[in-house]
Amino acid sequence: MPSRRKFIKTTAAAAAAGLTLPRLADAMPAITVRDRADKPATAFAGLPVIISAANGLKDRNPQGQSGIEVAYRMLTSGADPLDAIVAGVEVVELDPTDQSVGLGGLPNEDGVVQLDASCMHGPTKRAGAVGALEDIATAAAVAKAVMDHTDHIFLVGPGAKRFALQMGFKEQNLLTDQSRADWMRWKEKLNSSDNWLDPIDARRPIRPAPRARPDDDSPASAHVYYDSNGVPHTYGTINMNAVNARGDIASVTTTSGLSWKIPGRVGDSPIIGAGQYCDNTVGAAGSTGRGEANIKVCGAFLAVEFMRQGMPPEEALLQVMKRVIAMTESRLLDEHGRPHFQLQYYAVNKKGQYAGACAYEGSQFAVHDARGARLENCAYLYKKSEMPAGPISGVMIKP
Ligand code: ASP
């Protein structure tokens, strides 16, 4: 910390040189929050309620139930809110066709699937997390086991796997045939002068041109886009937050993170306060999308703090998005100051009011309350027509 004397001296020197220190308001870009004609003012149904990323409603278990339905059924049968949502995200973790979470997640640059997850339990003020976990599909349950069985909060890498095995979790290869084929295609197209030949398309055909923009509702595409070589790129995650009928709150986030990441890279999902956060007196929030952007603003914590100050969830999340953009380095902004990435936030308060918000129009989130399970549109800062050219996903597209 600078001493008071040093601060006064520095400030005086800056003033003498004709410099003024920036105020926070000056540092924020001028961004207009749009009125959204497509979404009625939230007529929320009260408690209990669960919200999640859209894959909470899209991915299903072999019995045909979505993750948010499994969680809601447990919640309304009296289960603890964290037990309910950990079971809910497990549906997504175990769905091999979702290449952004758990089993079937796209691997790192070595072809190894590494998972990140964290959770918080409002009533007991406890938290657990795992980072770069290998060979165990249900990372959220492992994060909860860290919370339940240790005095630690965060285990990573081989230590996290060892702990999971000691807890009786099943070891399995998380790389599906499809994800292995996608990894090989990525490797083969990485460098034209290396010793890998181009993909043999007869053996591994390019899948039909799915090019996910935020408004693309194609299956398993929530955060996936395909480059011109047919290589999928994904961030991709599920965050789920629940408030039960008594107003007790819990949050969880689980992911395989950024595809083709450098081994050991940990995103925002397992970081308490970034990937998810929960305070039983206020509410819960979480994030999916470019974790590197979210970590720098502690987005989930910041959203809960804005709600504590009295903001409704939607306003809190849009304020967090603005903070993200204010903290984004210029190489990731276009000439208008708009980001070359997508990021989604989700928040619910203790009364059961909820929202999703993102940088660019088009993302949806899942809700389950007494009115049933459904997708709703996220609030946003920028119209689709304002997106920079090229693929926009959770993925960085500007070198
Ligand atoms: N936020 C996750 C990460 O950066 C990925 C995602 O949500 O898409 O690892």
**Higher-scoring residue by pLDDT: 311, 231:** 311
Paired tokens of 14: 């800056």
Asked whether residue 166 carries a pLDDT value surpassing 50, the answer given is: yes
Extents of the domains making up the chain? 40-178+214-386
226-252: pLDDT as tens digits? 666 677 776 668 999 999 999 999 999
**Which ligand 1 atom minimizes the distance to the CA of 257?**
9
Across residues 56-83, what is the average pLDDT?
Answer: 96
347-386: pLDDT as tens digits? 999 999 999 999 988 889 999 999 999 999 999 999 888 8
Dihedral, 337, 216, 220, 342 alpha carbons, nearest 10: 10
Residue of 52, 93, 118, 235 with the most ligand 1 atoms within 8 Å of its CB, for mutation? 235
User: What is the model's pLDDT at position 370?
Assistant: 96
User: What is the model's pLDDT at position 367?
Assistant: 97
Task: Indicate the pLDDT class of residue 189, thresholds 50, 70 and 90.
Answer: confident
Burial 317-346 (b: 16+ CB within 10 A, else e): bbbbbbbbbeebeeebbeeeebbbbbbbbb
Q: Which CATH superfamily is domain 40-178+214-386 in?
A: (Glycosyl)asparaginase (3.60.20.30)
Across residues 330-342, what is the average pLDDT?
Answer: 89
Nearest CA to ligand 1 atom 9: 257
Distance of CA 52 from the midpoint of ligand 1 (Å) = 14
**Which ligand 1 atom minimizes the distance to the CA of 116?**
9
Would you name the residues annotated as active-site residues?
237
**Higher-scoring residue by pLDDT: 132, 193:** 132
Across residues 153-177, what is the average pLDDT?
Answer: 97
Nearest CA to ligand 1 atom 4: 291
Would you give the distance in Å from CA 222 to the centre of its chain? 11
User: What is the model's pLDDT at position 392?
Assistant: 55
User: What is the model's pLDDT at position 244?
Assistant: 98
242 beta partners: 50, 250
Q: What percentage of the chain reaches a pLDDT higher than 90?
A: 62
Would you give the distance in Å from CA 122 to the centre of its chain? 20
DSSP characters over 160-222: HHHHHHHTTPPP-----HHHHHHHHHHHHTT-TTSSPPPP-TTTSPPPS-----TT---TT-T
Question: Can you give the length of the chain in residues?
Answer: 399
**Residue (of 283, 308, 370) closest to 43 by Cα position:** 370
**Cα separation, 341 vs 339, whole angstroms:** 5
Identify the DSSP state of 395.
S
**Cα separation, 151 vs 126, whole angstroms:** 10
User: What is the model's pLDDT at position 390?
Assistant: 60
Dihedral, 64, 122, 357, 26 alpha carbons, nearest 10: -160
User: What is the model's pLDDT at position 100?
Assistant: 78
* Protein residues whose CB sits closer than 6 Å to any atom of ligand 1: 223, 235-237, 255, 257-258, 267-269, 288-289, 291, 394
- In the sheet that holds 343-349, the strands lie side by side as 276-279, 283-289, 343-349, 354-360, 379-382
Distance of CA 376 from the midpoint of ligand 1 (Å) = 21
Paired tokens of 129: 């997390």
User: What is the model's pLDDT at position 21?
Assistant: 54
Distance of CA 279 from the midpoint of ligand 1 (Å) = 22
The CA-CA-CA angle for residues 15, 19, 21, to 5°, reads: 90
Of 18-32, 156-170, 203-217, 281-295, where does mean pLDDT reach its minimum?
203-217
pTM, full prediction: 0.86
User: What is the model's pLDDT at position 399?
Assistant: 28
Q: Are 329 and 24 in contact (CB under 8 A)?
A: no
Task: Indicate the pLDDT class of residue 204, thresholds 50, 70 and 90.
Answer: very low
